[in-house]
Chains A and B, each alone.
Chain A
Amino acid sequence: MLRMGRVGLLSGLTLAAAPAHAFIAYVSNEKSNTVTVIDTDSWTVTKTIKVGQRPRGIDFTRDGKFVMVAVGDDDTIQVIDAKTQAVVDSLPSGPDPELFAQDAAGKILYVANENDNTVTVIDLEKRARLGDIQVGVEPEGMTISPDGKTLINTSETTNMAHFIDTSSRQIVANVLVDARPRFAEFKHDSSEVWVSSEIGGTVSVIDPRKHEVIGKVTFEIPGLRKEAIQPVGIGMTKDDKTAFVALGPANRIAVVDVATRKVTKYLLVGQRVWHMAFTPDEKYLLTTNGVSNDVSVIDVAAQKVIKTIQVGELPWGITIAP
């Protein structure tokens, strides 16, 4: 008790002492058809931007000038100018885009199109569609290896992580994981890729060289039925020591020791937690809580939820300005 108090105090001090270094977070609200802008200094909502229908996947362009948001029911990805905070353009994404990934240079965008079992490749500068890659049923999770050579796509009904060579745009391996894989995240040293399975209730740890599942993270929360544990979003610290896994209707973020793949702590956040994003200084982790319509702020060092911010209806994705 005393210890917790001290940690709280410490983080309080840090907050006060730290120079005002505000970041800007953008949250997609699946039901309201809006994007909420949050100032991470005051932890307040500074703007609500009207976007297309069913906004979900959201990410900054590498140069930090634009925010891309997949508006699935409008079959496009809209582009928000971070300066004017208004929608300025849209990308030819293919039908029902949900999540997407961009290469390190920020030139090529890969979009998962759930409705036609493809990943669409887009040239971001020319705003042109370069081609499609056939994958499994209901492609969803997308991530690119730190070296940029491999794109990982997960397909929800096929239950696989597809490893795609970004130069040839061919699938080089398919790794079977547990049911309904939703999100993939590389360790920063490229040694592992973590894939969450929403219905399977696990995170598979895959060796990206051997294309094999080498371990699994499992979750158990006393008093909570197993079916409520539905892992979705994953965030990994830059030192690759700690992973945070959003557990959906379990209303918790699991803190996982990456080396042992064991959960060290469960943090109670809002209801149906989907996705998350770190502030660039990695002091804070923000999570989107779909059913309670809010964003939880986690103090990463203290592993504590310090704040809740009300946003739009069914917040889903989140990105923070680099």
Chain B
Amino acid sequence: MIRWLAGLIGLGLAATSALAAEPALIGVGYLGVAGTRSTLSLVEQPAENDGIAGARLAIEDNNTTGKFLGQRFALEERRIKEGEDVVQAATALAEKNGFIITDLPADALLKVADALRDRGTLLFNAGAIDERLREADCRANVIHTAPTRAMLADALGQYLVWKKWSRWLLVVGSHDEDKLFADALRRTATRFGAKIVQERNFEDKGGARRTDSGVTLIQRQMPVFTQQAPAYDVLVAADESEVFGAYLPYRTWDPRPVAGSAGLVPRSWDAAQDQWGAIQMQNRFMKLNSRRMTPLDMQAWTAARMIGEATSRTNSGDVKKVTDFIKGPDFSVAAFKGTRLTLRDWNLQLRQPILLVDGRMVVSVSPQEGFLHQVSELDTLGYDRPESKCKLK
């Protein structure tokens, strides 16, 4: 088997050098779900091309580099509509593309990963922040550029503790992902010595996010909802479903800051991030897409750049070779976050600083000073090696 493989790679190499003039074509697929979710703030409403716009920019960047190396990158997009078979779509995409960037819910991603395992296709999870994809349900053919809920919660928690806002009023939404984020926040509080003084649940009773006289109603509801709380420093909201979080700032009964799903929010990226040379990329993104860059755009950009980084380092478009290099000890990628990003080899999660943003500015970047780690300070964010339940297969 090994000899056969080696022979194949040898042949591949010979073929490449024989056709030196012809650039090696490297296919990258993008698999997402059609339609966009609705947000409370109109400003935060995602664009139709959220995510893939970032991948497109990285493909352009890779092609600029690729012209010096005889490599050409092509991006193929596929969006699944309600009721469509995700495995079928993924398999079709894998025909021409050895690498697929995904923005899929956890269950769909696992189905795709298992279906494509024997093909050797390498998947990049740019969209799902679920812990279980890096823990009990981790897969050896899935690399995660999206951060996890625990990483996001820890990034926020470190800052709140550094700020000495250690008494939290936790408000949790009624959807599953809200509860998962609340779990992550509780874990963070325990790890870093914050105290959740009380928890409140905000029931989603349905209703429209856009109404003509919404403000008047919300202004009455939110103070009432937050009154008679025990003494607290900061209200932490777990509302990934966009039901109430954004209504809280400036409307709490007690004058307190809001963090979590609204107010001060932990994110992998922000349109306001301009440090560490990021302004160049923000400008390139704006020029290409006529809008500002979101966290999902950045997670997809990073995935496509990781592929480009590995193909240039290995001088190869061979999926196996590139995959081995990405998973190997020498891999790192620069992504405008002031430090090199590397993979956690035990679950293939990309280590990354997390920005804390308020919608206009980057307020801080975690890990915070003083949170130390024997391997990488980035591993103070999220589940660390000794706690991991992941067995890569």
* A interface residue numbers (CB < 8 A to B): 96, 114-115, 117, 136-138, 155-160, 162, 171, 174, 176, 179-180, 199-201, 225, 227
Q: Determine the distance from Cα of A173 to Cα of B309 in the docked complex, in whole angstroms.
A: 19
Q: B68, B280, B339, B340: which contacts A114 (Cβ < 8 A)?
A: B280
B280 touches A179 (CB 8 A): no
A200 to B305, CA, bound (A): 15
Would you give the shortest CB distance from A232 to chain B, in whole angstroms?
A: 12
Q: With a CB–CB cut-off of 8 A, which chain A residues contact B68?
A: 136, 158, 160, 162, 171, 174
| Cβ B277 vs Cβ A159 within 8 A | no
Knowing A138-B280, A156-B277, say if A225 contacts B376 (CB, 8 Å): yes
B268 within 8 A of A: no
Cβ–Cβ < 8 Å partners of A137 in chain B: 61, 64-65
Residues of B within 8 A of A117 (CB): 64
Q: How far is the CA of A137 from the CA of B340 in the complex (A)?
A: 17
Residue in contact with A157 in the complex, picked from B313, B332, B334, B339, CB distance below 8 Å: B334
B333 contacts A by Cβ under 8 Å? yes
In the assembled complex, how far is the CB of residue B55 from the closest CB belonging to chain A, in whole angstroms? Answer: 15
Q: Flag B275-315 by CB within 8 Å of A: 1 or 0 each.
A: 00100110110000000000000000000010001001100
Distance (whole angstroms) from the CB of A190 to the closest CB of chain B: 23
Are B64 and A115 interface neighbours, CB within 8 A?
A: no
Q: How far is the CA of A179 from the CA of B305 in the complex (A)?
A: 12
- The residue among B277, B284, B313, B376 with the most chain A CB atoms within 10 A of its own CB is B277
Chain A hits for B284, CB < 8 A: 115
A138 touches B340 (CB 8 A): no
- Taking A114-B280, A138-B277 as given, write out 18 further A-B residue pairs in contact, using a Cβ cutoff of 8 Å, ordered by the A residue number: A96-B280, A136-B68, A156-B280, A157-B305, A157-B334, A159-B334, A162-B68, A174-B68, A179-B309, A180-B277, A199-B334, A199-B339, A199-B340, A200-B332, A201-B340, A227-B339, A227-B340, A227-B376
Q: CA separation between A114 and B65, bound complex, in Å?
A: 14
The residues of B that contact A158 with a CB separation of less than 8 Å are 61, 64-65, 68, 312
Q: What are 9 A-to-B residue pairs whose CB atoms are below 8 Å?
A: A117-B64, A136-B64, A158-B61, A160-B65, A162-B68, A179-B340, A199-B334, A227-B339, A227-B376
Question: Which of A159, A171, A200 is the most central at the interface, judged by chain B CB atoms within 10 Å of its CB?
Answer: A159
Give the complex CA separation of A227 and B69 in angstroms. 28
- Within the complex, the shortest CB–CB distance from B236 to chain A, in Å, comes to 29
Question: B312 contacts which of A162, A171, A176, A201 (Cβ < 8 Å)?
Answer: A176
Chain B: CB-nearest residue to A176: B312
Q: How close is A319's CB to chain B, nearest CB, in angstroms?
A: 22
**Residues 319-361 of B at the A interface (beta carbon under 8 Å):** 332-334, 339-340
Bound-complex Cα distance A162 to B67 (A): 12
Asked if A157 and B61 make an inter-chain contact with CB atoms under 8 angstroms apart, the answer reads yes
Shortest C-beta distance, A271 to chain B (Å), equals 13
Q: How far is the CA of A115 from the CA of B282 in the complex (A)?
A: 10
Chain B: how many interface residues by the 8 Å CB criterion?
A: 21
Q: Which residues of B contact A174 (CB under 8 A)?
A: 68-69
Nearest CB on B from A131, distance (A): 19
Bitwise, B58-91 to A at CB < 8 A (1) or not (0) is: 0001001100110000000000000000000000
A158 CB, min distance to chain B CBs, angstroms: 4
Q: Which residues of A lie under 8 Å from residue B69 when comparing CB positions? A: 174
Tell me, in angstroms, the Cα distance from A130 to B391 when the chains sit together: 59
Expressed in whole angstroms, the Cα–Cα distance for A227 and B377 within the complex equals: 9
**In the bound complex, do residue A179 and residue B65 qualify as a contact, i.e. CB atoms below 8 Å apart?**
no
Q: Whose C-beta in chain A lies nearest to the C-beta of B283?
A: A115
**Digit string of B36-74 for contact with A (CB within 8 Å is 1, else 0)?**
000000000000000000000000010011001100000
Complex CA–CA separation, A164 to B280 (angstroms)? 23
Contacts of A96 in B (CB 8 A): 280, 283
Q: Is the CB of B377 within 8 A of A115?
A: no
Q: Which chain A residues lie closer than 8 Å to B312 at the CB level?
A: 158-159, 176
Q: Are B333 and A179 in contact (CB under 8 A)?
A: yes
Once bound together, how far apart are the Cα atoms of A157 and B64, in whole Å? 10
Give complex CA distance A136, B71 in Å.
Answer: 13
Q: How far is the CA of A160 from the CA of B68 in the complex (A)?
A: 9
**Contact present for B334 and A180 (CB under 8 Å):** yes
Assembled-state Cα–Cα distance A158/B311 (Å): 12
A201 to B281, CA, bound (A): 21
Return the 8 tightest CB-CB contacts between A and B, nearest first.
A158-B65, A199-B334, A174-B68, A227-B339, A179-B334, A199-B340, A180-B334, A137-B61
Interface string of B369-388 (1 = CB under 8 A from A): 00000001100000000000
On chain B, the residues within 8 Å of A156 by CB distance are: 277, 280, 334
A227 to B276, CA, bound (A): 14
A200 / chain B contacts, CB cutoff of 8 Å:
332, 340
Task: Please give me the residue from chain A that is nearest to B68 by CB atom.
Answer: A174
Q: State in angstroms the CA–CA spacing of A156 and B276 once bound together.
A: 11
Cα A116 to Cα B340 in complex, Å, equals 24
The A-contacting residues of B in range 136-173, CB under 8 angstroms, are none
Contacts of A171 in B (CB 8 A): 68
Q: Which residues of B234-250 have CB atoms within 8 Å of chain A's CB atoms?
A: none
CA separation between A103 and B103, bound complex, in Å? 50
The CA of A227 and the CA of B332, in the complex, are separated in Å by 11
> B332 touching A199 by the CB < 8 A rule?
yes
Measured between beta carbons, the chain B residues less than 8 angstroms from A199 are: 332, 334, 339-340
Q: Which of B65, B281, B377 contacts A225 (CB 8 A)?
A: B377
Closest CB of chain A to B51's CB: distance in Å? 20
Nearest CB on B from A230, distance (A): 8
Q: Does B280 lie within 8 Å of A115, measured CB to CB?
A: yes
Which chain B residue shows the least CB distance to A182?
B277
Q: What are the residues of chain A within 8 A of B332 when measuring CB–CB?
A: 179, 199-200
**Separation of A200 and B309 alpha carbons in the complex (Å):** 12
A199 to B305, CA, bound (A): 15
A114 to B376, CA, bound (A): 31
Q: Which residues of A contact B340 (CB under 8 A)?
A: 179, 199-201, 227
User: How far, in whole Å, are A115 and B280 apart by their CA atoms in the complex?
Assistant: 6
CA of A200 to CA of B280, assembled, Å: 19
